[in-house]
Structure formats: structure tokens, C-alpha cells
Amino acid sequence: MKKTTDEIREMFLCFFKEKKHIILPGSSLIPENDSSLLFTNSGMNQFKKLFLEKTVNPQYTRVTTTQNCLRTGGKHNDFKNVGYTSKHHTLFEMLGNFSFGDYFKKEAIIYAWEFLTSKIWLNLPKKNLWVTIYEHDLESYNIWKNIIKIEKEKIIKIGNKNKQKYTSENFWQMSDTGPCGPSTEIFYDKGNNLFGKPPGNNSNNGIRFIEIWNIVFMQFNKLNNGNIVKLSRHAIDTGMGLERVAAIMQNVTSNYEIDLFQPTINLIVKMSQTNNLNNIHINIIADHIRSSSFIISENIVPSNEKHGYVLRRIIRRAIQHGHKLGIKSLFLHKLVPTLINSMGIYKPILEKKQKQIESILQLEESKFINTLEKGLKLLEIEISKLKNNVLKGEIAFKLYDTFGFPIDLTTEICHEKKISVDMLEFKKNLKNQKKKAKKAQFFINDTGITIPRKNSISSNFIGYNIKTSKSSITNIIFDNTYLQTVPKDKHKKGMLILDNTPFYPELGGQIGDIGEIYNTNGIFAVYDTQKFGDVIGHIGKLISGNLSINDIVHATIDSGRRSMIQSNHSATHLLNSSLRNILGNHIFQKGSYITNQFLRFDFSHHSSINLQNIQKIESVVNEKINQNILVKTEIMEFKEAKNKNIIAIFQEKYGEKVRVLSIDNFSIELCCGTHVKRTGDIGLFKIISEKSVSSGIRRIEAVTGKIAISIIHKKENELEDIATILKTKSKNVKDNIQKIISKNKELEQKLKNLYTKENRKLVNKLANNCVIVKNVNVIMQTFSNKDSKTLRNIIDQLKNKLKSAIIILVNIFEDHAIFIIGITSNVSKKISASKLLNIFLKKLNGKGGGKDVIAEGSVKNLIALREEITNIKNWISSNL
């Protein structure tokens, strides 16, 4: 009897529950507190501490789980195999049983054999099962041979590679050091009618022998010197691939033929130009729509780094293979409902995120489709020019740099055509591009301002806690020239550089300070502060007196303005954390602009934020403000900050030392900007707008303190003005407006009824006065007070009434006329509305368009129109 994937999963968990295992849920696809992995790639990930013996007394010693795993990079990378084999996937489900200091080799092997072969469980034929072991693991060999009694010819010993210790495929290691041990794998023979050699043979690329279960005996610890010692507590780590076992139980040769994939594959076939259900491109799309949907359900969005990059890569690969199937329109999001319906126990989880999944897929596909088409055309041209089977790295770089065509997509397309890509040359071009900026003869900042490069220039920011300093002028730059004194031309702007300065330069989204640099000899007004590498430039002009190189000056910032900037900057950090708490961990900053008047925050998100969530976000931020939390800063090693998963919201390059800003445990981020001492200093936080700035990127603008209060007052004044106009109190405005809307609807309905009555009379009049030409009712009428909608309605009524008719209605305005032509379907075979329209347009130089039964246009030549109406009557008569 065939078993569904849901039934097999349930049987597995029930079996191990009977063996006194605790059923635990699988972990998230995004590993918690594990920076070594982007995605969960095995069932054992959530138990790492137990395997590493960091937990002295585990609360459970026998566990069973079902775990979604993603393998698209690193040691376990199935990405390039997906679609091209019948057994590999980006996302797959691993069924596992684990023992921590409890049972070991004998029980683990017996449990696996019983579940696979017992008549009350999977009941697989014993003769079809083969196993592999580590060649030095005699204990496992004897268990298989003497207890399980499997034929010794079907027990394959796998040795070390190149005679190096512990390099066998059947010796599992967590990493270069740490827990490790021999493993045994169980293979299923699908029959000699399929291609493939027994396990352990390096040439085994067929589909006859399929690995279905791997049992790792965690009994050693590998040291830095390469030696291994026994662990104080042995463990068992197993994994059985659900999709592979389902293919066996459902008697199909490919994983893509099981119940999980077939509904999606059938839909892809309908969308494509192929009838082949085993098409490689279809398999890839079916796999990738599943994995991308699960990743998005974890609140990951496509981006150019980390989790988002993997997601983008999967989506774009699916789009490319859809293109190969002849699917030219956006299609991935249309697969989601069918996919979700076939996901069994995961259906409720995915349904909650369905709109989000569909929206993100549609956005990403619409962004990439143009890039794909341009890149494919250029790549095809370049491939056609090849004299050998190597694509120049220079061409691959041009595709990447000019057209945004991913390098991995280029290599995959070339691989399919048995063409290699010169990756050394590609990397060389990429490296040269990065070097160009370093060879510039100018210091350049983000605003585009340049100053000549001079090695002796340096400056030091000291303004986190002070607002006035005693400093020395080290450089004066006007018109890209280094001077000894500041020019006295009051209209000329230039730049001063000080050895120490309290002026914060524009950086990390925060605008630069303004203020004054002065001494008893002169005053220099600073209108902006910018950063050039390690140099801080004070941009402004001389107000009075004179200033020269090496002068000792007072540098004083506008402290009131700085305080407002600090309020907005600290509020931005609170906003960022609030967004992540309320909308999800997929929120990442994509840009910010922090001024003394407002803050602007750009972030990754797939759809608009409704008013309810806007108010939730405001409430959370204001709650933290009211708590008057101390804002702390500390200098930390970048590696330490990275290990602690502290958010680097500006995604810049950081040095060895970084500044960490923390607001309680609510917000902990890397930030070089200036901030309030306590959150209470912010006063009040108010969001004033939320909108889209590009695909998948939203923008919030907000204000704080006195400006927030003034915004609220402005809204109150506007409400009071509306109340005055309505002659009511502000608290009654909503009720009064609803009454006005109801009254308007009532009046609109009365007006509509009058128009309907009038039109009915007009339709009867036109029908009674029509001209009959060869059994066809011909009506031509001009108006001066009808809109297009009314004319179309009249035409529809006349068609229903007359059954066989040509109707031309014209409405004349002061400087132009619109006309609508309606023809019943039985007459349109002789004279179409669009053809009749074109006669008008050609002779009267108008514009318009339409179909066989309806067409609409406009003309400006009103004098010729009347004459042409007469001519068209004659044309109709001669062509019917």
C-alpha cells in the first residue's frame, strides 16, 4: 500500500515514540545563536551543545524530530545537482532520532532496520537493502552481519581517501576539530532495470541505489593536532531523507514524482510549452518554489548578502529555467497556492505567510526579468563567437558589472552548454575595479565633494561629550588649493581642517554639525561638516577678521541643533528595533537620513504598513522614551561584536574596534553617531509618513520632541477648521461626514435614476427613428452634453433592443469631438467597428482604437466632421 509523505513522517515519529524517544519540533531554517551556519542543514544543528558536551546533564537522552534542511553552500552544497538528479533538493525534510549518552551502535542499527523492514512499519524488502560502514569499524560490521544477518556481500567497507586518517565518506566530522565518529549508511536497491552501481563505487551516478538513512556514531573528539580521543559521553545522530523514502514507498523512480511535487509540476507544465513531466527545468522550478517559499516564511527577503542572497539566487535560478520553458510572464507567485495545498502539515504555517510569499516573489521576478532577457541575449551572442569552449572572464565581468547579470547564472548556463568560464580573469577584473578608487588623486566623500589628497592631513573627532574645543587650524582649502590664510571674500566658501574638533561630520545617515570657528582675530561660520577618509572638513566662509594656518581657535557647534539631531538619531534606533519586533526579523536598514528637523528610515519590507501597525510602532517607541532608559556606548572588538550578532545597521566596513550603542536590551547596534544620554530626552516620537521608495524597500519619516508636538497641534487645528466648516464640534466631525456621504449617495442614486429614465427615452427615440439599410438598423446621432460612459451605455441598450445594428454616436465639445461606434456581432463580420473608426481617423487626422464590436476615438477638425458623417452613411450603404 502506498504511503503519503505525511503518513511516512507520522509513522516515523510514532515508531520512535514507542522506543521511548521524546518528540521535539524541528528548529527554524535560520539557526539560533550559530554564526557558523546561514541555514539549518541537518537535524542535529539544534543539539550542537549536547554533542559538544557543553550541557552536563541533558534534560532528555532520547529524541526524535522532523527537520526542514537547506543545503545551498558550504560543506553540504546540493545546489548544482538540483533538478539534474532525481534525489537532490535545495530544501528537504530530514527525519532523525538522537541519543545523548543512552543507546549506541547496536540499538541504533536495530531501530533503523526494524522501522524499514517490519511489516507493521514500512515493510521494505530486506533483499533490497545494502549498507556501508567505515572500514575500521568492526563493531558495526559485526552488528550488521551477526545480528541483522544481512549478507556480507551487501556490507560495503569504505576506507580513507589517499590513506589519510579519518577522511572516509563514512567517518563523519562536525568540523576540522570537535566531535566525530564512524557512520553507517543504508541504501535501497530500486532494481536492475535502472542504471547504477552498488554503493561505495566512485562511478555510482545512477538512480538504482539510493541512500535513505545515515547513522553517525559520535564517539570521538578530534584535537587540533589531528589526534582523536574518546568522548566522555557517546551519542547517536541519524537522518532519513523523507522525500527519498516517499519515492520508494510510492513506487516512483524520482523524488519529483511524489505527492509533494506533482501538483506544482502539473501546474508548471500547463504554464509552459512542454508536456514532459520529467523535464529538468520543471524539476528545478518545483524545487526552488518550495525552498524560496519556506525561506520567505522565515521573514527573509531577497538581498545581496547572507540569507537574502541565497534566497535571491534560488528565485533567479527558477526564473531563468522558467524562461527556458517559454514562460515569458511573471509566474512564480502563481505557483504558491498550489504548492501550499500540497504541503501537508506545513500548509497552515505557509498559509499565514501566503500574501507575503506571493508579493515578494512577484516583486523579485519583475525586477529580474529585464536583466535576464538583456543578459541572455548578450551571453548568447558571445557564446556564438567562441572558437573554443571557454568564455572570457572579461565578458562574464561585463555581464556582471554592466547588466547586473549574476556570475553564478553565467557559469550555470555555460556549464549546460559544456563551456567553462575563465573565473581567474573574472576575479582579476573585479579586483581591478575595486583598486580604481584607491588610486584617485583626491579625497572623495559620499556627497561628491573632493579635496586634493595630501598625506599630512589628519583630524580627530572629540565631540561625543563636548560641544566646544580649543583647536589648531592645520589646513585651509579654497578652490581645491591649500592656502596659508582664509580669503577675505565673504562670498567665497572653503574648508578648514582642525587637529581636534567637536563637529560631527555627515556619517552613518546623520547630517554634519554647523557652528563657528573663531578667535580674537576672526570668525569662520561653519555651514556643513563632511568626512574625507580620516579627515573632517569644516565647510563655510569667513564672516569677519582673518584666520591663518596654526591659529589656535575655539570650535563651537550649534548645540541646540545637535540636541535635536541626537533625539532623532536615538529615535531611529528605537524605530529599527520596533519594526523588527512588530513586522519581523526580515527588517534591515537600507538607508537613513537624520537631521535636526526629521528622521528618514529606509528598510526592507514587501508591503505597506497599515495604520494599526504604524500606531503599534509609535506606541513601542514612545513607551521606551517614557521609561527614560540610559543610552550606553562602549568600544568593542569587531570580532566580539560579530560573535554577539550585534546589528551593524549601516552595513559599512568596520575597523578592528567598533562603537556599540545599547538602549537596554531592546536595541543593541553598531553606530558611530551622536545620541541622547537618556531616551526621555527625545520627548515624543511621531511617524508622519510611510511609503515605498523602490521594489521591496519602504520609507518611514518621523519627527520628535517639539516638532512632533507642533505636528499634532497642526492636525488638531485642521480638525477644528473642518468642524467649523461643518458647523459642529470636532468630536462630531466623523458622524457629520458620514451623514454627508450618505446624503450624497442618496442624491447620486436619484440623479442616476433620472439619467437612466432620460436615457431610456432617448434609446426608444433613436430606435424608432433609425434608418434601415439592407435589413440593418443604422443610427447616427450627435450630442453636446454626453460623456463617454453614457454614450457606451446607450449603445449597449440599442444593441440589445435592435439585435442587428450599426450605431455611431458623436459628442461635440468646443474644440474637439469624441465618437463611439457600436456594431452588433452579426453585422461586425461584414463591417467592423475598428475598420469604420479607421476611416474617420484617417480622413479627420484623429486618434483612437477598438475591436470588431466597439471602437472609440476623438478628432479636432469639427468642420470636416459633419461632412464626413454624411459620407460615412454612403460608405455603409455600399459595403453592407
Residues within the annotated binding site for Zn(2+)?
A: 569, 573, 671, 675
Q: Which residues, in sequence order, are CB contacts of 414 under 8 Å at separation 6+?
A: 383, 391, 420, 421
- Chain CA centroid to CA 565, Å: 31
Looking at the DSSP bridge assignments, the partners of residue 782 are 810
State the residue for C-alpha cell 580627530: 460
Q: Which residues, in sequence order, are CB contacts of 839 under 8 Å at separation 6+?
A: 872, 875
Whole-angstrom CA distances from 236 to 57, 115, 121, 343, 346 are: 16, 17, 22, 29, 27
DSSP 25: P
Side-chain half-sphere CA neighbours of 857 within 13 A: 27
Task: Please return the burial class of 151, using the count of CB atoms within 10 Å of its CB with bins 0-12, 13-18 and 19+.
Answer: exposed
- Binding-site members are 569, 573, 671, 675
Question: For residue 233, what is the enclosing H or E element?
Answer: strand 228-241
Looking at the DSSP bridge assignments, the partners of residue 236 are 99, 217
Looking at the DSSP bridge assignments, the partners of residue 178 are 222
Residue 320's φ and ψ, nearest 5 degrees, are -60, -40
60, three cell numbers: 532528555
Side-chain half-sphere CA neighbours of 245 within 13 A: 29
**CA distance between the termini of the chain:** 69
Question: For residue 158, what is the enclosing H or E element?
Answer: strand 155-158
Residue type, 877: S
Contact present, 200 and 91 (Cβ < 8 Å)? no
Please tell me the distance from the alpha carbon of residue 844 to that of residue 817, in angstroms, as a whole number: 11
| H-only helix segments in 55-137 | 105-117
Would you tell me how many other CB atoms lie within 10 Å of the CB of residue 381? 10
- Chain CA centroid to CA 428, Å: 30
User: Is the Cα dihedral 660, 661, 662, 668 positive or negative?
Assistant: negative
| H-only helix segments in 241-343 | 242-249, 262-271, 280-296, 306-324, 332-341
3 state SS of 129 = strand
Q: For the chain, what's the residue count?
A: 880
Work out whether strand 390-391 and strand 420-421 pair parallel, antiparallel, or are unpaired: parallel
Residue 174's φ and ψ, nearest 5 degrees, are -65, -40
Work out whether strand 515-518 and strand 442-444 pair parallel, antiparallel, or are unpaired: unpaired
Task: Please return the burial class of 515, using the count of CB atoms within 10 Å of its CB with bins 0-12, 13-18 and 19+.
Answer: buried
Work out whether strand 481-483 and strand 500-501 pair parallel, antiparallel, or are unpaired: unpaired
Helices 280-296 + 262-271 axis angle, to 10:
120
Task: Please return the burial class of 717, using the count of CB atoms within 10 Å of its CB with bins 0-12, 13-18 and 19+.
Answer: exposed
Question: For residue 870, what is the enclosing H or E element?
Answer: helix 862-879
